[in-house]
Amino acid sequence: MSSPYTKTTKGIRVSVRSFYLDDQSQADEGRFVWAYRVTIENKSQQTVQLLARSWRITNGHGRVLQVHGEGVVGEQPVLEPGESFEYTSGTPLDTPTGFMAGEYHMTLPSSGETFDVTIPTFSLDSPHQNLQVH
């Protein structure tokens, strides 16, 4: 498992760890699969709700896939101040390395105000990537 990538936006801290799933990957067929574990912590003084997500998934050739959807893992969690929400998801790539980044689209239920929270860019690394030392 990788070290955590962390970013705080408007008091909402997002931490991500990725890990390569060798048992679900088929390197000889160009299929590489990762899981990532996300922790969303409400360090603000207001209740927030995650409404939707937007991801940019970039493979090792620079090809970008945009993914948008409601909530995360079928939920739109409400986080009171001091609460956190954790989930695990995954993504396949056709290259042995890549990276992901994105935003969570949040709201303040008390006012209806919406805002975006940055998901830090994190790498997707497998043991099959070509490492060159210069």
Tens of pLDDT, residue by residue over 37-55, are: 999 999 999 999 999 999 9
- What is the third-level CATH fold of 5-125? Immunoglobulin-like (2.60.40)
Residues 6+ apart with CB under 8 A from 95: 30, 32, 59, 60, 61
CA atoms of 120 and 134, how far apart (whole Å): 28
CA atoms of 70 and 59, how far apart (whole Å): 23
Q: At residue 62, does pLDDT exceed 90?
A: yes
pLDDT value of residue 119: 98
CA atoms of 80 and 49, how far apart (whole Å): 9
Decide if 125 contacts 25 (C-beta within 8 A).
Answer: no
Instruction: Look up residue 33 and give its amino acid.
Output: V
Decide if 70 contacts 54 (C-beta within 8 A).
Answer: no
pLDDT value of residue 128: 80
pLDDT value of residue 82: 98
Domain boundary assignment for the chain: 5-125
8-44 confidence digits (pLDDT tens): 999 999 999 999 999 999 999 999 999 999 999 999 9
